[in-house]
């Protein structure tokens, strides 16, 4: 190895120094280069993300797995951060698992009242029980699952009475959000919402229901963010978890989907005019009709 380094040093030195005096500078460059390579390798070996792509129904789930030398509480990068231009946010493995479980509950893959098989989910996500159980605690705090002492966990039932109460509150929160949005949204933010709306309509025209509803949820969250009221955003985020789940459980008719797309267009038009009364009325009306459709669907189950 020593002879190789000397030879490499001499060759590099000859490139930068025509005389033999280039031997020492060249050797230094070779050693420095070797150090950088070994350092990079050690950084690469320290951890990795393994993406396991599966396609249950119509979506791709990304399961994260850490290297066997890492423990299950180490940080990994969120897949959303990898795709965008925003700074990367570090997520613990249990947070990534919680996000996947939340999606499964909200979209009805884990049905209300069903028992959660830790063994099956650990195999599916390729993780140990530690991050899975931490993720279940997160969902229990959100009211999406119920932890059963010494018996694992189950998905909580959808209570129609609670859903009705939730929509009563959400109707008024949406109206308040409309008043704030008309005054506080910038032109750039309105343009951003219009672009998201057009993308959502593309999903609607292609009858891509899961993609449509996911983007729909992003739009509603973005509306709450742009309103500029932190308390309003916190309330809507918490309530929307239960409302979204109820919408999937209700299996609403396609006719309501058509109506909802038109209501979103009315909301965007009122926002672009900055007509706070019209915007508040449009958002209130949209949420009320959504609630009526959800409750009707739950009653028909």
In sequence order, which residues have a C-beta less than 8 Å from that of residue 277 and are 6 or more positions away? Answer: none
Neighbour count for residue 96 (Cβ, 10 Å): 23
3-state secondary structure of 147: strand
pLDDT tens over the chain, length 301 residues: 554 544 445 444 444 444 444 444 444 444 443 443 343 334 333 333 333 333 332 332 343 433 333 343 333 334 443 344 445 456 789 899 998 998 888 877 888 889 998 899 999 889 999 999 999 999 998 888 999 988 889 998 888 999 999 999 999 999 999 999 999 999 999 999 999 999 999 999 998 887 888 899 899 999 999 999 999 999 999 898 888 888 776 666 667 888 999 999 999 999 999 999 999 999 999 999 999 999 988 888 7
Is 181 in contact with 273 (CB distance < 8 Å)? Answer: no
Residues 20, 150, single domain; the answer is no
Measured distance CA(135)–CA(263) in Å, rounded: 36
Residues 166, 259, single domain; the answer is yes
Q: Which domain holds residue 131?
A: 52-155
Instruction: From residue 47, give the alpha-carbon distance in Å to each of 37, 66, 226.
Output: 17, 6, 37
Rounded to 5 degrees, φ, ψ at 83 are -85, -25
Residues 109, 198, single domain; the answer is no
Dihedral sign, Cα of residue 104, residue 241, residue 129, residue 151: negative
53: left (phi over 0), alpha (psi -120 to 50) or beta: beta
Number of domains in the chain: 3
Residues 40, 98, single domain; the answer is no
Residues 171, 230, single domain; the answer is yes
Q: Which two tokens stand for residue 119?
A: 């063994």
The answer to pTM > 0.85 is no
Residues 76, 124, single domain; the answer is yes
Residues 39, 56, single domain; the answer is no
Residues 249, 141, single domain; the answer is no
Residues 168, 143, single domain; the answer is no
Residues 23, 142, single domain; the answer is no
Last residue of a domain, one of 116, 134, 155: 155
């Amino acid at each position: 190895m020593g002879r190789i380094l000397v030879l490499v040093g001499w060759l590099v030195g000859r490139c930068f120094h025509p005389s033999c005096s280039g031997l020492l500078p060249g050797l230094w460059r070779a050693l420095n280069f070797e150090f950088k390579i070994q350092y990079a390798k050690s950084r690469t070996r320290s951890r990795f993300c393994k993406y396991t792509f599966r396609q249950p129904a119509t979506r791709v789930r990304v399961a994260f797995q850490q290297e066997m030398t890492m423990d299950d509480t180490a940080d990994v990068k969120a897949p959303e951060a990898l795709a965008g231009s925003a700074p990367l946010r570090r997520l613990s493995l249990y947070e990534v698992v919680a996000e996947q479980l939340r999606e499964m509950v909200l979209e009805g893959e884990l049905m209300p009242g069903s028992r959660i098989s830790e063994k099956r989910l650990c195999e599916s996500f390729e993780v140990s029980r530690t991050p899975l159980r931490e993720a279940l605690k997160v969902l229990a705090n959100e009211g999406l699952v119920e932890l059963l002492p010494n018996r694992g966990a189950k998905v909580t039932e959808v209570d129609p009475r609670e859903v009705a109460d939730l929509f009563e509150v959400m109707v008024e929160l949406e109206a308040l959000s409309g008043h704030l949005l008309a005054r506080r949204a910038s032109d750039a933010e309105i343009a951003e919402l219009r672009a998201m709306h057009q993308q959502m309509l593309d999903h609607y025209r292609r009858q891509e229901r899961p993609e449509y509803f996911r983007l729909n949820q992003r739009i509603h969250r973005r509306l709450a963010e742009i309103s500029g009221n932190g308390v309003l955003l916190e309330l809507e985020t918490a309530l929307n978890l239960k409302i979204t789940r109820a919408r999937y459980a209700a299996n609403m008719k396609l006719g309501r989907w058509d109506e909802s797309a038109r209501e979103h267009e009315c909301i965007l038009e009122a926002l672009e005019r900055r007509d706070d009364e019209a915007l508040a009325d449009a958002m209130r009306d949209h949420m009320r009709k959504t609630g009526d459709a959800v409750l009707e669907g739950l009653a028909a189950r």
